Amino acid sequence: KEAHATQKTLQSLSSSSQEGTEKVINLDHGDPTMYEKYWMMMGERTTVVIPGWYSMSYFSDIKNLCWFLEPEFAKQVIRLHKAVGNAVTEGRHIVVGTGSSQLILAALFALSPKDGSEPMSVVSTAPFYSSYPVMSNYLKSGLYNWAGDARSFNKEGPYIEFVTSPNNPDGFVRHSMVNRTGGILVHDLAYYWPQYTPIPSPADHDLSLFTVSKATGHAGTRIGWALVKDAEVAKKMIKFIELNTIGVSRDSQLRAAKILEVLTNTTEKHGSSDSGESFFEKSYHLMAERWRLLRAAVNNGRMFSLPDFAPGFCHFLQQETQPQPAFAWLKCEDDAVEDCESFLRGHKILTRGGRHFGVSPKYVRISMLDRDINFILFLKRLSKIQS
């Protein structure tokens, strides 16, 4: 029945009129606008009103190591991780950041020795998140610098390894690659949420990063958080944020706290008659549908291929689930196409090519989180290219 439905959808895609052929479809960034629909449906429940006199001080909580952390935001982070079962929060310091981007830089600052004879090496396994090399190098820091693909890293001495799981861009579950003493791991868990990947157990690392951008789709709120075991590392990260932005917008934290609160309320109802509202269930089904349609469109021809993933048991959804990443890691199989990004740009589809991620230009990364209208247009165009 499902195969029949997919076939019908694809037929209607390829036989549809010229509608939208001129429009440029920008799937370069992972802008999570797909989630707007859900939050619209939630109506006033996440509306936050902040009076003019409120949260004026620089300080949120002077008793906390992280003095700019809003207690309500911290409370909702803990509650959410407990409900989803994707991270241990006991014995961790929460450090809030202006997006997890600021926390990536804070971690680099905190983990690099201040008196090292040379900059600390920063590595990640290719294909790696394209911002790691740029962020590591753009200030030409004496503390750290980018040392490339973790797979081929063989320099003696300490290093920082970013472990992104599930990985951006290719969606695979990742573990540390270098595996040597002297290595410090930063687990970037931006996509460790049930709509993207099975959740087998709570992450229990020394330093993990999360962000509302990919969890709920509120990228514009610019809020991320780190779970940090070692108080000294947390202190240095806090120092970095102090020097960088003297804290993190309290208004944004209050808004994020409200969104996380409502989100967790919907997960607690999950499995009951109210589960139609469950954010993660709804988003999981939406992603499943998008991946089903994309795979059908790709399998309709021989020009492109997608990675294959193994299913796993998700303790949150209480069922076996498929990985369905926030990005499609598409490969151009056609021998005549060397540079897949340019090829697709020729068809007015903007993507990010493999070179940005340390691999061949035969690959491109495509956002799966855009609004329905753009995603459908993208499928139509892909079907047309293949026909």
Confirm or reject binding of residue 168 to ligand PMP (CB under 6 A): yes
What type of residue sits at position 239?
K
Considering only the stretches 79-87, 96-104, 148-156, 280-288, report the one whose residues sit in contact with ligand PMP under the rule CB under 6 A.
96-104
Nearest-approach distance from CB 211 to ligand PMP, in angstroms: 3
Confirm or reject binding of residue 281 to ligand PMP (CB under 6 A): no
Q: How many CB atoms lie within 10 A of CB 162?
A: 26
Confirm or reject binding of residue 260 to ligand PMP (CB under 6 A): no
**241 Cβ partners below 8 Å, 6+ apart?**
68, 95, 97, 98, 102, 106, 247, 248
The three-state (H, E, C) secondary structure of 67-110, written as one string: CCCCHHHHHHHHHHHHHHCCECCCCCEEEEEEHHHHHHHHHHHH
Confirm or reject binding of residue 211 to ligand PMP (CB under 6 A): yes
- C-alpha pair distances (Å), 299 with each of 52, 118, 296, 302, 382: 55, 49, 5, 7, 11
**349 Cβ partners below 8 Å, 6+ apart?**
24, 25, 27, 366, 378, 381, 382
Confirm or reject binding of residue 164 to ligand PMP (CB under 6 A): yes
CB-nearer residue toward ligand PMP: 224 or 353: 224
Largest interatomic CA distance in the chain:
65
Residue choice 74, 78, 96, 190 for contact with ligand PMP (CB under 6 A): 190
Element (H, E) at 142: none
Confirm or reject binding of residue 123 to ligand PMP (CB under 6 A): no
Confirm or reject binding of residue 382 to ligand PMP (CB under 6 A): no
Confirm or reject binding of residue 197 to ligand PMP (CB under 6 A): no
Confirm or reject binding of residue 129 to ligand PMP (CB under 6 A): yes
Nearest-approach distance from CB 102 to ligand PMP, in angstroms: 7
Confirm or reject binding of residue 325 to ligand PMP (CB under 6 A): no
Residue nearest to ligand PMP (CB): 99
CB-nearer residue toward ligand PMP: 97 or 270: 97
List residues bridging with 159 in a β-sheet.
Answer: 121, 183
Confirm or reject binding of residue 165 to ligand PMP (CB under 6 A): no
Length of the chain: 387
Residue choice 13, 60, 69, 99 for contact with ligand PMP (CB under 6 A): 99
Please work out the total of residues on this chain that contact ligand PMP, with binding judged by CB under 6 A: 13
Residue choice 6, 213, 216, 383 for contact with ligand PMP (CB under 6 A): 213
CB-nearer residue toward ligand PMP: 162 or 343: 162
Q: How many CB atoms lie within 10 A of CB 23?
A: 12
Confirm or reject binding of residue 219 to ligand PMP (CB under 6 A): yes
Cα 222 from Cα 231, distance rounded (Å): 24
Confirm or reject binding of residue 188 to ligand PMP (CB under 6 A): yes
Burial of 160 (0-12, 13-18, 19+ CB in 10 A): buried
Cα 44 from Cα 165, distance rounded (Å): 34
Where on the chain is the footprint of ligand PMP (CB under 6 A)? 30, 99-101, 129, 164, 168, 188, 190, 211, 213, 219, 224
